[in-house]
Structure formats: C-alpha cells, structure tokens
Structure 1
Amino acid sequence: MDLLERLADVRRRSRAYGLTTFGEVAAFVTGMDAATEWEFLDGFRQFLAAKSNLGPSLAWQVLVIRMAYPAESDEFWATASRSESSEATSVLFGELQSFFAEREASGTN
C-alpha cells in the first residue's frame, strides 16, 4: 500500500488505527511525512497558508484548525487538537486531497 492509499484508508477507518482526535490524526500524518524524510507534505503548509490567507508563519496543524473553525479565538487550536474534532479532521483530509491533486497536476513530486 503506497502512502496515498494508506492516507485514504486512515480517512475511511481512522478508529481502526487508534486515531480518535485531530491531534492523533495530525501526528500520524506527520509520521508519514517523517518516514519520507519530510517530502510527503513538502509545500503543504504553504498551500494552506495561501488558500486560507492566514499567513505563512503558522504550523499546518494550526492552519487546518483555523480553517475548520474560523470564528474561534487563537487559543482554540490547542483545545481542538486534543479533542475529537471531526470538523478539523474532515478539513485536514479534504485539504490533503486537494494538495496532492494539485501537486500531481503540476507534476511535482
């Protein structure tokens, strides 16, 4: 199973992987990135920053939570990362799908 297939499987069955919170899903995805020597998500933070207009200085995890909950305060991301945030998890998988589709269309990686 390649990484994109694994990611799709995690999206479908995250609980089967023991992932119940946004933070756990984000950690799993970060682990996938680490396993590829940081190439898997290369450009993802910049993709999210450009799409969200939230600026390039935030971590991708914070960008996802701020995209999922745009009306919440800056401190909300810490709580959301530890909670069972289905909205943030859904935004993460949707944005990853868009990111990889765009990267494939442009012929990079």
Structure 2
Amino acid sequence: MTEMIEVPDAEGDWEPATEFPASRRNPARQASMFQSATWPLSSLALLAVDLEAVARRLKLTLESSWDGRGNVRAAFFVLDGTDFVVTHHEGDAPGTHVWTRKGGPVDPVARAGSLLAALGVGPEAVSYSIWGVGTDLRHVPAAWGRGRGKPTRSHQDLWANFRRSPELFVGRVSFGAVVAFLNGYDIASDKALLDGFREWLAAKLGYGENLVYWVLAKKLIFPDGRPEEPWSPEAEQHAVAGLIDLIDEYFESLASNPEVRPETV
C-alpha cells in the first residue's frame, strides 16, 4: 500500500471555504454537491493523502452521497480558476481521488501543481496521475470507473457559458467581437484561456508562428480564402463557429495530452 503523506493544517487566518468574505485568504472556494451535480468530470490524480486532511487544510465541508458503486464523500471547489472535486469511496484503499471539470483550458500538470501547492505537499503525494507520473502506477484507480458529476464559477465555467451563448457576452455576435472579448478575458485572467493557442494553430497550419491567433484561425476556417469584407451574416456565423470549434479542439488536445501545449514566447 502507498505510504500516506501528511497534509499540514489550514493557515491560521483562512476562513471556511464555504464563506465568501470580501477579502479572501483561503485559496479554495467551495460549491455544494447540489450546485455541482450537472457537470461532467475528468479524473486527474490519486493522492496519497487522507480526504479528511485535505478538507481540514482547505477548510472544506465534506458532503456524503452515493453512486453506482457505493457511498462516497466529496467536496466540490474552485482553486486557482479551476473546478476541482476530491472524493473517497467507502471501502476504497486510503487516498484522495482528484477530478476536474471536463472542457475548458485545463492543463492537468499545472492544475495538479496548484492543488499540491495549496495543500502544502510535494509531488511525492501523487500516487497515480493521468499524465503518467506517480509513486504507484500499477493500475488505474478503481474509483475512476464510477459515476461522476460537477461545480462553481471558473475559467471552464466561463468557456462553457460563452461557447453556448456568445451573444450574452458580446451583444451582436461577429468574429471581431468574439476575438475582442476573448482577448480581454485572456489578458484579465493572465492568459488562463488562450495560452499556447496561437502556437498550436501555427503547428496545425504548418506555418505562421509570427501571426496572431485570429489571423491563423481565419486561414483554417476559410481554407479557400477569406470572403470579401464586409462579411455577410452567414460568413460571420461560420467564422465564429469555426473559432469556437478550434478552441474546443485545442482544449481537448490539452486534456488528453498535456505535453501538446507548445512552448510560448
């Protein structure tokens, strides 16, 4: 059995993760199971730490529920702009399973690093991970075959809402308006949304490393050449849908293979 790692207690001035004062010190912000039940999850890692210790450190409130394979205790929370869930099923070996919300800009290694830092433990606490690093890689944790569900406001939440209803964010939907919104959000979030996207597009095209991402995207969206300006409503709609599809494809490539993120300059 993997040796369990000790997690330090919460910092003295951290408030409970369920409270939202104007000035927050606790890095975790918790959502309830009820709030989070509709979101699909992706497995991230199995940590050799006790779930109670994780909850104590981040001042989370553990909730009890069940799925197709038994009783489960869990906490849903946002940390460093990412939706996390930590769980432990009754009868499982000691340890904490970590999940993230599917979709959106998730780099598994970076997200796991944020969580480990908040917990005050090092990479030795990772028993198993989807990127193939850990102290016990003999088999996939059994809990990862169990039912899933998920939670609160994050970069992933923003992207899910934006891709579904861009008109709620930009008013009249056009390619230029969408690019302007994404650029503004990316700057405000310290490149949390589109970091590496330009380089990925250039690699997909095979050229254009010196071009901005929206120019590269147009070349992929209109392979036979851009329509003359001003664009028709149909061309605008096609361009917006194409850009959203490209960003989704980039996020999927990150989630399935974090090493695909190109080096940025």
TM value normalised by structure 1: 0.79
In structure 1, which of residues 55, 79, 99 is the aligned counterpart of residue 208 of structure 2?
55
Question: 1:6/1:39 Cα in 2 relative to 1: closer, same or farther (>3 Å)?
Answer: closer
C-alpha contact (below 8 Å) 2:199/2:209 kept by paired residues: yes
* Correspondence 1:14 to 2:14: no
More strand by share: 2
Gaps of 5+ in 2: 1-152
Gaps of 5+ in 1: none
More helix by share: 1
Q: Which residue of 2 aligns with 1:44?
A: 197
Q: Which runs of at least 4 in structure 1 moved beyond 3 Å after TM superposition? A: none
Deviations 1:9-31 (A, max 9, x none): 12221222214110101111112
Q: Which residue of 2 aligns with 1:65?
A: 218
Distance in 2, Cα, partners of 1:26 & 1:83:
17
Larger Rg: 2
Distance in 2, Cα, partners of 1:68 & 1:107:
25
1:71 is paired with a residue whose SS is coil
* Correspondence 1:5 to 2:5: no
1:20 is paired with a residue whose SS is coil
- For this pair of structures, how many residues does the alignment match? 105
TM value normalised by structure 2: 0.36
Once the 2 structures are TM-superposed, how far is the Cα of residue 55 of structure 1 from its aligned partner? 2.0
Distance in 2, Cα, partners of 1:41 & 1:70:
22
C-alpha contact (below 8 Å) 1:47/1:99 kept by paired residues: yes
Q: Which structure exhibits the higher relative contact order, with contacts defined as CA atoms closer than 8 Å and separated by 6 or more residues?
A: 1
